[in-house]
Amino acid sequence: MKALITGGAGFIGSHLAERLLELGHEVAVLDDLSTGSIDNIAHLKAARHFSYVVDSVTSEPLLAEMIDRSEVVFHLAAAVGVKLIVERPVHTIETNVHGTEVVLKHANKKKKLVFIASTSEVYGKSADVPFREAADCVLGPSAKHRWAYACSKLIDEFLALAYWKEKKLPVIIVRLFNTVGPRQTGQYGMVLPTFVRQALAGDSITVFGDGTQSRSFTYVGDVVDALVALAAEPRAIGEVFNIGNRGEISIRDLAERVKTLAGSDSPIQLIPYDEAYEEGFEDMPRRVPDISKLRALIGYEPKVGLDEIIRRVIDRMREHEVPQNRTSRAAVP
């Protein structure tokens, strides 16, 4: 297949590009490098079926041409990361809503298959765990900026499903749960790369709140496998899927696990949410996916467990980012 990946120089997009190329597909990337990085795709540049353009999805003539040349569009370009969302709410809403709007508009001209990358954040404060795709979304008030992200992604979902219903544009919506792995940066607030960097540098590991909140982490390779399998499944069209991993861990335990696996002496420091983000910040206590829909359709089963994920992130950061540190020892097996 000829794939266009918007946001293809980002963390997930670059892993998807890599996997598609390995499978013999053709990949074009469109990325404005706002949160992505050329380093993420540097190793792909020499591949025969790979090309990339540094520009925004809102450059419509270019986007239209790139969509025209592709058979499937993975629309991953978005403003991501809770820190970024809280700090730059206008940018988040505009990027996520307008970007998807133009991708769908141009894909519709020749009815190209479009993947919309949504998020587990849309389940918001729901306590109905594990989260099923058909369940209610429980968001907080508009005065709390965090919810702008979930809302912007929900608008993307509504618009994509409207295109499917009204214009028969083939769309597939995926709600990604906390996706982690090598190349993810902690710069925009993601917890695992942040903890690993802190542990390797011997700095305090910053656990926000009391650390009892939990998340279910999925290896990026498992996520891209699911995307590739869905692209080949006609019954996925017009549907919404959770992509995640059922295993759940509290953030406090995650900090301990990272510390152990990195062989680090870093202290674990609790930081109130108000200080970490902004006053009145609301976090969700649990976020666990129900993956039975995805399992039933494509036989999806996540393969990489959390310890292995943490090890891979540590190895990558040791090799690429952290100068020889002060306190961390060799990894504990």
Sorted by sequence, the CB contacts under 8 Å of residue 310 that are 6+ apart come out as: 192, 196, 257, 258, 261
Classify 50 as helix, strand or coil: strand
Q: Is 251 in the site for ligand UDP (CB under 6 A)?
A: yes
* Residue 93 backbone dihedrals phi, psi, to 5 degrees: -65, -45
Question: 171 or 258: whose CB is closer to ligand UDP?
Answer: 258
Closest CA to 210 of 265, 270, 163: 270
In the set 37, 126, 213, 327, which binds ligand UDP (CB under 6 A)?
A: 213
Closest CA to 265 of 219, 169, 200, 207: 200
How many Cα atoms occupy the beta-carbon half-sphere of 144 within 13 Å?
Answer: 16
Q: Is 231 in the site for ligand UDP (CB under 6 A)?
A: no
Q: Is 248 in the site for ligand UDP (CB under 6 A)?
A: no
Question: 112 or 252: whose CB is closer to ligand UDP?
Answer: 252
Q: Is 185 in the site for ligand UDP (CB under 6 A)?
A: no
Judging by beta carbons within 10 Å of its beta carbon (0-12, 13-18, 19+), is residue 167 exposed, middle or buried?
Answer: exposed
In the set 35, 96, 178, 216, which binds ligand UDP (CB under 6 A)?
A: 178
Q: Is 190 in the site for ligand UDP (CB under 6 A)?
A: yes
Residue 213 CB, shortest distance to ligand UDP, in Å, is 4
Cis peptide before 130 (omega within 30 of 0): yes
Residue with tokens 């079926």: 49
Q: Is 182 in the site for ligand UDP (CB under 6 A)?
A: no
Pairing of strands 268-271, 205-208: parallel
- Footprint (CB under 6 A) of ligand UDP, residues 269-328: 283
Stretch of residues binding ligand UDP (CB under 6 A), selected from 4-12, 17-25, 100-108, 190-198: 190-198
Residue 327 CB, shortest distance to ligand UDP, in Å, is 18
Q: Is 194 in the site for ligand UDP (CB under 6 A)?
A: yes
Residues 214 and 285: beta-carbon distance below 8 Å: yes
Q: Is 187 in the site for ligand UDP (CB under 6 A)?
A: no
Q: Is 206 in the site for ligand UDP (CB under 6 A)?
A: yes
Q: Name the catalytic one among 52, 123, 149, 219.
A: 149
- How many residues interact with ligand UDP (rule CB under 6 A)? 14
Residue 304 CB, shortest distance to ligand UDP, in Å, is 17
Residue 206 CB, shortest distance to ligand UDP, in Å, is 4
Q: Is 203 in the site for ligand UDP (CB under 6 A)?
A: no
Q: Is 122 in the site for ligand UDP (CB under 6 A)?
A: no
Residue 126 CB, shortest distance to ligand UDP, in Å, is 14
Neighbours of 275 (CB within 10 A): 11
Q: Sign of torsion, CA 219 223 224 225?
A: positive
Q: Is 85 in the site for ligand UDP (CB under 6 A)?
A: no
CA diameter of the chain: 59
Q: Is 207 in the site for ligand UDP (CB under 6 A)?
A: yes
Question: 56 or 118: whose CB is closer to ligand UDP?
Answer: 118
CA–CA separation, 104 and 169 (whole Å) = 8
Cα angle at 78 between 280 and 210, to 5 degrees? 30
Assess whether 149 carries a catalytic annotation. yes
- Footprint (CB under 6 A) of ligand UDP, residues 17-76: none
Residues 57 and 76: beta-carbon distance below 8 Å: no
Residue with tokens 């696996």: 261
Q: Is 259 in the site for ligand UDP (CB under 6 A)?
A: no
Kindly state the tokens that stand for 283: 């976090």
- Name the site residues for ligand UDP (rule: CB under 6 A): 82, 121, 178, 189-191, 194, 206-208, 213, 215, 251, 283
Active-site residues: which are they?
A: 149
